[in-house]
Structure 1
């Protein structure tokens, strides 16, 4: 098929296979003008040009070699651009797989908490549970104490309900980040837990940041 540069009107002869069914972006080898060439599905392949014509040089991509017809003008066929976001997809997919593995095997991996409760900076005590079976509600009261010699902001608080097999059946996360405890100070907190599953047998309270609560 024959195509013409819209800028300098130089004519080129290419095959339908090079342009493709949906067209492609091409670059003029004479004036470097770039345009999108639509495929002409009705045009028949032109005959080979006689040998006495001089071929014009054309740049080719190593991964997409172009075989020149002797004596034919040929533009530079630009390789299709790969969308930039497609390079990010494998990284995102890998990150999601790693996160799922951490969630599934967190107990076997024994991942340490970033907010170390073993440091005894903040401790939870005086836990009391009152259950209202008629409305399926539980009231949990507990005390958080700052055992350090500095001010400490209360992190996220997660209350989990577990069944007999220690499987989490319900989880509640409370935000008290605007509360700061002075050294040796404590605070009493009461939380009402709604929609309590009947299979709930055990209760667990944990302090930590967002990543701690995801991994533990």
Structure 2
């Protein structure tokens, strides 16, 4: 199974440093990045058969450029919503540090890869295991698909898929950590039979909990 996953192109909120939320429209630079990404995806020998997008403005707009280039339709996938960041959602990093110092300090440790996802503590945030399982289920839903799929992703979804591809679980000690990606960066993730078996074991384990 092959998954092409790209971070969205630059949007207005990226210039301010606002994580989470409903998103924002692409900047003029972001539009150029999305167009270049569309050319790149169209040039792939093994093109995607479907285009999925996380439900934010910037991911949908990025996906639209790829879909138009390939003659496909964008499917907005609610299960690919970014992890809920609680009190830090939709406010700038600087403002968050002033208003929510404890949550912001934990987020800073996460961004600098000093802690794993399970150790991230933000007031009101989504349960990390629930978020992790959303990614598991999505990937398993593609496991029998012959042709590749493309996803225009937010950073947290890109980190999720990257960690799942590396077979990093959500429990402490399994090394699920933050990673950095440039705007419109494209990853090609090939999931072997070994990968799929591992994903299924992860899902079965959490079903029993």
Q: Which structure: greater strand fraction?
A: 1
Larger relative CO (CA 8 A, sep 6+): 1 or 2?
2
Give me the TM-score of the superposition, normalised by structure 2: 0.18
Give me the TM-score of the superposition, normalised by structure 1: 0.18
* Structure whose alpha-carbon radius of gyration is higher: 1
